[in-house]
């Protein structure tokens, strides 16, 4: 019997709960991307998901399993933006109260969207305050149920439905490349990949400035770091979760990193060549493929585009120096 937080059956159950609620996002193709990498790439377009990111899947799956008391009291979460919006919308769909703890320097578009979904937003300084401590304090004082952004079995299982859909659409893949912050998306997707196609190579990608997961898997224990300074705001995590880490240890083949410059290049390519508006964190996997950080020649490869929530002015500023992969 597995001691891991989730198994494939948990993801299948989550997929049933999300049926007709979450978007079944498309798997995009690009002849130019294939030519650039020498591989056959399938881009899972989670930037087209509800709230603009894969996070909706895990948030909804978690709240959907609340009992009567939890629903009456409401939910609280801490997030730089995408999990915030996911919980806010999921709470609204379930008719319950939502309180979201967000960094004051989170993209304004993410703060506005979270409030737009009806949540109460509490701001904090990500460099001097502990968001988890603040979230726990508010949860205890107001009787709210805390749903963390990645270290929760229902969240992890919900995120795994990204890979479930991708494999249903495109079949077996040689390699699956997944963005990595706290490990919720990667742990869920790796669980699916290992169950459905045991020989699929599973790669996680994090920003160079925040390679805590890479160091953790190398050392065999969770490594904590200072909040990384990177344009990939959705991956500015300090450590993997106690639930996600064992899943990554069990299923993931390799963790690689990409630079902010490589993220900008990938954003430019997605915009110019594929007409897709993808945020920096959402381009982690694509950047690893385009930059050669992962060897993928002549392989069938899945690329998870995890989100598209970035202010358009900031987006234009970032890609203005990029040639879009041309």
Asked if 134 and 122 touch (Cβ cutoff 8 Å), the reply is: yes
- Is 306 known to be catalytic? yes
Task: Mark 273-296 as b/e (b = at least 16 C-beta within 10 Å).
Answer: bbebbbbbbbbbbbbbbbbebbeb
Token pair belonging to 76: 């609280």
CA within 13 Å, CB half, 263: 26
Query: CA-to-CA distance for 189 and 166, rounded, in angstroms?
Result: 10
Q: Which residue is catalytic, options 165, 208, 212, 279?
A: 212
Q: Which residue is catalytic, options 10, 55, 188, 291?
A: 55
- Is 226 known to be catalytic? no
DSSP 227: P
* Nearest CA among 19, 36, 46, 26 for reference residue 189: 46
Q: Which residue is catalytic, options 52, 183, 210, 308?
A: 210
Q: Which residue is catalytic, options 30, 80, 187, 216?
A: 80
Query: Which residues, in sequence order, are bridge partners of residue 201?
Result: 175
Q: Which residues contact 112 (CB under 8 A, 6 or more apart)?
A: none
Q: Which residue is catalytic, options 206, 233, 262, 279?
A: 206
- Is 105 known to be catalytic? no
- Is 55 known to be catalytic? yes
- Is 110 known to be catalytic? no
- Is 253 known to be catalytic? no
Token pair belonging to 22: 């979450």
Q: DSSP letters along 50-104, please? A: GGGBTHHHHHHHHHTT--HHHHHH-EEEE-SSHHHHHHHHHHHHHT--EEEEEET
What amino acid positions are annotated as catalytic residues? 55, 80, 206, 210, 212, 306
């Amino acid at each position: 019997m597995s001691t891991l937080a989730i198994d494939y059956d948990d993801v299948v159950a989550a997929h049933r709960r999300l049926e007709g609620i979450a978007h079944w996002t498309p798997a995009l193709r690009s002849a130019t991307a294939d030519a650039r990498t020498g591989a056959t790439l399938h881009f899972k377009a989670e930037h087209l998901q509800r709230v603009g990111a894969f996070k909706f899947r895990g948030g909804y799956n978690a709240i959907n399993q609340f009992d009567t008391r939890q629903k009456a009291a409401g939910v609280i979460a801490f997030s730089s933006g995408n999990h915030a919006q996911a919980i806010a919308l999921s709470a609204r769909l379930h008719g319950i109260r939502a309180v979201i703890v967000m960094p004051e320097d989170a993209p304004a578009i993410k703060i506005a969207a979270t409030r737009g979904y009806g949540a109460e937003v509490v701001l904090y300084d990500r460099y001097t305050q502990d968001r988890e401590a603040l979230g726990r304090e508010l949860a205890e004082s107001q009787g709210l149920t805390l749903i963390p952004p990645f270290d929760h079995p229902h969240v992890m299982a919900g995120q795994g439905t990204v890979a479930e859909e991708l494999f249903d659409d495109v079949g077996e893949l040689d390699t699956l490349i997944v963005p990595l912050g706290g490990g919720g998306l990667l742990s869920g997707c790796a669980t699916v990949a290992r169950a459905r196609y045991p020989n699929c190579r599973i790669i996680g990608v994090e920003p160079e400035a925040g390679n805590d997961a890479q160091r953790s898997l190398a050392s065999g224990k969770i490594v904590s770091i200072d909040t990384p300074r990177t344009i990939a705001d959705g991956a500015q995590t300090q450590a993997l979760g106690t639930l996600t880490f064992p899943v990554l240890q069990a299923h993931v083949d390799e963790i690689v990193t990409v630079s902010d410059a490589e993220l900008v290049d990938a954003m430019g390519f997605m915009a110019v060549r594929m007409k897709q508006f993808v945020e920096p964190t959402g381009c982690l996997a694509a950047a690893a493929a385009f930059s050669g950080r992962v060897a993928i020649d002549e392989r069938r490869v899945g690329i998870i585009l995890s989100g598209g929530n970035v202010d358009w002015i900031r987006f234009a500023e970032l890609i203005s120096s990029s040639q879009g992969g041309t």
